[in-house]
Structure 1
């Protein structure tokens, strides 16, 4: 059986890097992985982690998911080389921590362009291919905050809610073409995402027009985020296990929470609102 051709966005660090390496190093060589990233200057980490798989079952390519021409180019390249795309993993994204009034509209639009419209661009490019071949698997890396919004992460929450809605809407449309679509929902993960979020938090300059009470409240919540008893970070490998489970499932579910904590947080939210049949969220 020919290996599955996999395209993953956002592979310079974290979940994208770990997933690309895991699939590329599969002992049965079931995958040919195109690990993409916006900035190829950051490719050293994945090339080192890939080891012997580099340029054999793992290929590093540039892809800024906000640039239409780059999306078109990567799909044309893969189709020219292999004639098919079997798995698409939408992982590219970034967060922001701060008061909404401290976030410029430019940054808000850029976040949606990456986190949500980047996903849309790649799915739009993949669908004609997958529909023609009557098979395909789309995996969107969402988050617990796609169901349970946290304070001071407004636009990030919104981008993940949008991803969840997009995926749920596409599910029945794609079934007759043999295409599955799923979302994977991690909570806090022990990657450098938290560090990146802190680095991308609102600055003193951003907060100059934010009320003192808002800054005080925001600071208090930020301290809560670092309390391990409330927001214990999950290690990367169990998250990758869940994504691989999704990729390899005979009948993929729509949603894959990556831990009991995620399932519990979401369950509490919907129970509070009197919603029953919560299990359907993960079918």
Structure 2
């Protein structure tokens, strides 16, 4: 059986890097992985993780998901090499933790352009290929925050809510073409993502003054988040296990929570709001 051709965005660190390495190092060589990132100056970590798979079953390529022409170019390149694209994993994204008034409009727009419209761009480029070949699998790396909004992460929450809606809307449209689409929903993960997000909490505009009361409230909320077992950070390995399960599933589900903690928090939210019929999505 020919290996599956996989394109993954956002592979410089974290989940994207770990997933690319896992698939590229598959002992049965079931995958040909194109691991992409915006800035190739950050490729060293991925190349090290790839080991012997580098340039054999794992290929590092440049892709800025916010640039329209680049999505077309990467798919044209892959099609020229292999004549098909089997799996698209939309992983590129970044976050911001802080008061909304401390976030510049430039950063807010940039976050939507990366986290949401970057996903839209790649799906739009992939669909003509997958529809023609009557097969394909799209995996969108979402978050528990696509269902359960977290204070001081307002715009990031919104990008993930948008991704969930996009995926759910596309699901019935794509079934006729043999294409599956799913979201994977991690909670906190032990990567540099959370660390980077926290460093973005300061005001980005000298003309913006965040009140002392706001800082006090935010600090209290951060202390709440640090309590043991509330939102315990999950190691990367089990998250990758769930993504691989989604990629390999004969009949993929719409949503894949990465832990029982995530599953219970989201299901609890819907039960308490009296929304019926949605809990089954997490079973």
Q: Same fold (TM over 0.5)?
A: yes
Aligned equivalents of 1:141, 1:204: Cα separation in 2? 27
Q: Any idea what SS the aligned residue of 1:22 has?
A: helix
Aligned equivalents of 2:76, 2:200: Cα separation in 1? 34
Aligned equivalents of 2:246, 2:25: Cα separation in 1? 17
Q: Which residue of 1 aligns with 2:105?
A: 105
Aligned equivalents of 1:197, 1:210: Cα separation in 2? 18
Q: By how many angstroms is 1:210 displaced? A: 2.4
Q: Any idea what SS the aligned residue of 1:238 has?
A: helix
**Contact 2:263–2:282 (8 Å) recurs in 1:** no
Q: Any idea what SS the aligned residue of 1:232 has?
A: coil
Q: By how many angstroms is 1:218 displaced? A: 1.0
**Contact 1:11–1:17 (8 Å) recurs in 2:** yes
1:208/1:51 CA distance change after superposition, 3 Å = same
Q: Any idea what SS the aligned residue of 2:11 has?
A: coil
The count of corresponding residues between Structure 1 and Structure 2 is 283
Q: Which residue of 2 aligns with 1:182?
A: 182
Aligned equivalents of 2:169, 2:232: Cα separation in 1? 32
Aligned equivalents of 2:201, 2:30: Cα separation in 1? 40
User: Please, what TM-score do these two structures have when normalized by structure 2?
Assistant: 0.97
Q: By how many angstroms is 1:220 displaced? A: 1.2
Q: Which residue of 1 aligns with 2:221?
A: 221
Q: Which residue of 1 aligns with 2:61?
A: 61
Q: By how many angstroms is 1:212 displaced? A: 2.2
Q: Which residue of 2 aligns with 1:231?
A: 231
Q: By how many angstroms is 1:204 displaced? A: 8.1
Q: CA RMSD in A?
A: 1.3
**Contact 2:139–2:247 (8 Å) recurs in 1:** yes
Q: Which residue of 1 aligns with 2:245?
A: 245
Aligned equivalents of 2:223, 2:80: Cα separation in 1? 50
Q: Which stretch shows the higher mean deviation, 3-12 or 192-201?
A: 192-201
Aligned equivalents of 1:207, 1:146: Cα separation in 2? 31
Q: Which residue of 2 aligns with 1:272?
A: 272
Q: By how many angstroms is 1:280 displaced? A: 2.8
Aligned equivalents of 1:66, 1:280: Cα separation in 2? 34
Q: Which residue of 1 aligns with 2:20?
A: 20
Q: Any idea what SS the aligned residue of 2:176 has?
A: helix
1:78-137: CA deviation from partner (whole Å, max 9, x where unpaired): 011111100000000000011111111111000000000000000000000000000000
**Contact 1:3–1:31 (8 Å) recurs in 2:** yes
Q: Which residue of 1 aligns with 2:86?
A: 86
Alignment of 1:35-184 (within 5 A): 35-184=35-184
Aligned equivalents of 2:184, 2:4: Cα separation in 1? 20
User: Please, what TM-score do these two structures have when normalized by structure 1?
Assistant: 0.97
1:177-235: CA deviation from partner (whole Å, max 9, x where unpaired): 00000000000001111111112222486694222222211111122223332121001
Q: Gaps spanning 5+ residues in structure 2: where?
A: none
Q: Any idea what SS the aligned residue of 1:209 has?
A: coil
1:80/1:204 CA distance change after superposition, 3 Å = closer
